[in-house]
Structure 1
Amino acid sequence: MIGLIIPAHNEERYLSACLDAVRCAMAHPLLGGEPVETVVVLDACTDGSARHVMQSGCDALIVEARNVGAARSAGAQAMIARGARWLAFTDADSRVAPEWLVAQLALCAEGADAVCGCVNVDDWSMHSPALATHWSRHYRDADGHRHVHGANLGVSAHAYVRAGGFPALACGEDVALVDLLIATGANVAWSAAPRVTTSGRFDARVNGGFGTTLAAWASQLSDRQDNSEDDSEPSIAL
């Protein structure tokens, strides 16, 4: 069985599209009929997120952690208890491609204990053209990249348990897990094959996450334009 985990904190705006995409990936014929179970970890939600999960037919796990690392960990523990051999993680403001799980499992079959994938941003229209240009120039969307995104991450249950799982961090829990996986000898595939589209919003639920990085890039690009004599590139890495 494949366990698919989605943490959510007040994500009613995005959840329906996320879960529609997940159901499509779950039904891919190349999975060969292997069961896929999805749990949305509703972390201190006060909006209509729970309603969207109920309408989708996916399972909900309610926690009051207010911590994305703890939420991901709770979902992973629930799926391992059900017998999952592979854990796939995405975010509530993201949409996985139909072949997302197939691509992860193909890399698993080739010997990967974990798969780190790339993301693309769904809509740049809310941002300056300079930010989209900077992204296209500096974000490496190719095999061998070194990005870590909680929105596009997969790991075998065995390797996850051996690494100790997600630490209860409010931000950077995905990077911390990958560091633990590497430290415990896991074979990590840095692949562009699993595709995920994510929101380009600045008002992300996690301070210090993807939205914060985009906002920092935008601020630095704006400062550079205000000081046209400065030709340096923004120093924020992704």
Structure 2
Amino acid sequence: MIGIVIPAHNEAGYIGATLSAVRLAAAHADLGGEPVRTVVVLDSCSDATATVARQHDVCTLEVSARNVGRARAAGAQWLLDEGARWLAFTDADTIVSPQWLVHQLALDADAVCGSVGIDDWSPHAEHDVLIRTHFERTYTDADGHRHIHGANLGVSAEAYRRVGGFAPLACSEDVALVAALEQAGARIAWSAAPRVATSARRDARARGGFGDALLAAIAAGLAATEPPLAA
């Protein structure tokens, strides 16, 4: 069985589209009918995230951690207990491609670090050109990249268990996991084949994560374009 983990904290406005995309990926013919189970880890949700998730007929797991590392770990453990051989991770504001799982598994690696794309820059409309230019100049969306995103990550159950899974970190839990995998000698594929499109939202849930990196890029770009202060 293939398992998919999606941590969520008050994501009612996004998670419906995420789960629709995940359903398509799970039904891809090239998976040969292998069962795919999705668990949404409801971390301290006070909105309708749980209702939306259950409308999409996926499993839900409630935790009160406000910690993405703990949430991912809880979902992973639940799926491992159910017999998952492969764990795929994405986020509640991310749209995976129909071939997402197929491409992860085709790489025949212990773990797969995928890249991310952004289809909608409208949350940054006033700085659209600046942030697009920065992203295109500094981000490598190609095989051989060295980016790590919880929104596009896969790992075999064996390799995940070997390194003890996700650390209970409020951010960069994905980076810590991949570092542990590298240290353990795992075969890691750095690939742009498993496609996902993530949100450029301003109200990102994980402080220090991808959303904050975009805001920092805007701030740096604005600082670079401002004229020097008069003496």
* TM-score range for the pair, normalised by the shorter chain length: over 0.9
Q: Tell me the CA shift for residue 18 of structure 1.
A: 0.2
Residue identity matched to 2:43:
D
What residue number does 2:113 align with? 116
- Specify the code of the residue in structure 2 equivalent to 1:181: L
- Over the matched positions of the two proteins, sequence identity in percent amounts to 61
Q: Secondary structure at the match of 1:47?
A: coil
* Residue aligning to 1:2: 2
Residue 216 of structure 2 is aligned to residue 223 of structure 1: no
CA distance in 2, matches of 1:53, 1:189: 30
After TM superposition, list the pairs within 5 Å mapping 1:14-29 onto structure 2: 14-29=14-29
Secondary structure (helix, strand or coil) at the match of 2:41 reads strand
1:228, distance to aligned residue in structure 2 (A): 6.8
1:109-188 equivalences under 5 Å are 112-127=109-124, 128=127, 129-188=129-188
Residues 1:12 and 2:9 are matched in the alignment: no
Q: Does 1:212 align with 2:209?
A: no
- Residue 93 of structure 2 is matched in structure 1 by 93
Greater shift in the superposed pair: 118-127 or 136-145? 118-127
**Residues 180-218 of structure 1 deviation map (CA, whole Å, 9 limit, x = unaligned):** 011111010000000000000121001100000000000
> Deviation at 1:226?
1.1
1:112-159 alpha-carbon deviations (Å, 9 max, x no partner): 100000001121133211111111121100100000000000000000
Residue 227 of structure 1 and its aligned partner are, at CA, apart by 3.1
Amino acid paired to 1:213: A
Per-residue deviation, residues 10-60 of structure 1 (Å, max 9, x unmatched): 000100000000000000000000000000000000000000011000000
SS of 2:185's equivalent in the other structure is: coil
Secondary structure (helix, strand or coil) at the match of 2:14 reads helix
Paired AA for residue 55 in structure 1:
Q
Two-structure CA RMSD over aligned residues (Å): 1.0
In structure 1, distance between residues paired with 2:132 and 2:122: 9
Match of 2:40 in 1: 40
Aligned to 2:63: 63
The separation in 1 between residues aligned to 2:184 and 2:70, in whole angstroms, is: 21
Q: Is the 8 A contact 2:24 2:98 kept in 1?
A: yes
Structure 1 unmatched ranges of 5 or more = 230-238
- SS of 1:185's equivalent in the other structure is coil
Do the aligned partners of 2:5 and 2:90 also contact (CA within 8 Å) in 1?
Answer: yes
Aligned to 2:169, the other structure's residue is in SS state coil
Unaligned runs of 5+ in 2: none
Whether contact under 8 Å (2:123, 2:202) holds in the other structure is: no
Give the TM-score of the pair, scaled to structure 2: 0.96
- Letter of the aligned partner of 2:121 in structure 1? W
Q: 1:84 and 1:148 mapped to 2: Cα distance?
A: 22
Which residue of 2 is the match for residue 234 of structure 1?
none
Structure 1 CA distance for aligned equivalents of residues 122 and 164 of structure 2:
40
Q: 1:233 is matched with which residue?
A: none
CA distance in 2 between partners of 1:122 and 1:58 (Å): 26
Helix, strand or coil at the partner of 2:54: helix
Alignment partners' CA distance in 1, 2:173 and 2:227: 36
Number of positions where the alignment pairs a residue of Structure 1 with one of Structure 2: 226
| TM-score, structure 1 normalization | 0.93
